[in-house]
Chains A and B, each alone.
Chain A
Amino acid sequence: MIEIRFHGRGGQGAVVASKLLASALFAEGKSVQSFPSFGVERRGAPVMAFLRIDNHPIKLRTNVYNPDHIIVLDATLVEAVDVTSGLKPKGWIILNSDHSPEEFTGFASFRVATVDATKIAVENHLGSRTHPIVNTAILGAFSKVTGLVSIEAVAQSIREAVPAKTEENARAAVEAYDKTVLPSNDHPTEG
Chain B
Amino acid sequence: MPRALDYTKESEMPSVPVSLGDMKWSKTGSWRYMRPNYEDKTPPCNQACPAGNDVVRFVMLVEEGKTKSGWLKIKEESPFPGVCGRVCFHPCETQCNRGQYDQPVSIHRLERFVADACAHSRSRNLDRWGDRSERVAIIGSGPAGLSCAYHLALLGYHPEVFEALPVPGGILRVGIPEYRLPEGVLNREISDLETLGVKIRTDTKVDKDFFDGGGQEYQAVFIATGAHESQRLGISGEDGPGVIPGLTFLREVRMIQKVRPGKRVAVVGGGNTALDAARSALRLKSQPVIIYRRSQDEMPAFAGEIEEAMEEGIEIEFLTQPVRVIRENGGVAGLECIRMNLGEVDETGRKRPVPIKGSNFTLDVDGILVAIGEAPDARLLPPDVELDWRSLTLQDVSRAESRGVFFGGDLVSPFRTVAHAIGSGKKGAISVDAFLRGDNPLEVLEMTRIGETGGVSMRKYIDTGYRTLSRHVVNFDELNTAYFKPLSKTDRKCLSASSRIRDFREVNRGLIRREARYEAERCFKCGTCNECENCYVFCPDVSILRNMRKLKHEINYDQCKGCGICFTECPRTAISMEEEQR
Q: Do chains A and B touch in the complex (CB under 8 A)?
A: no
Chain B residues packing against A (C-beta within 8 Å): none
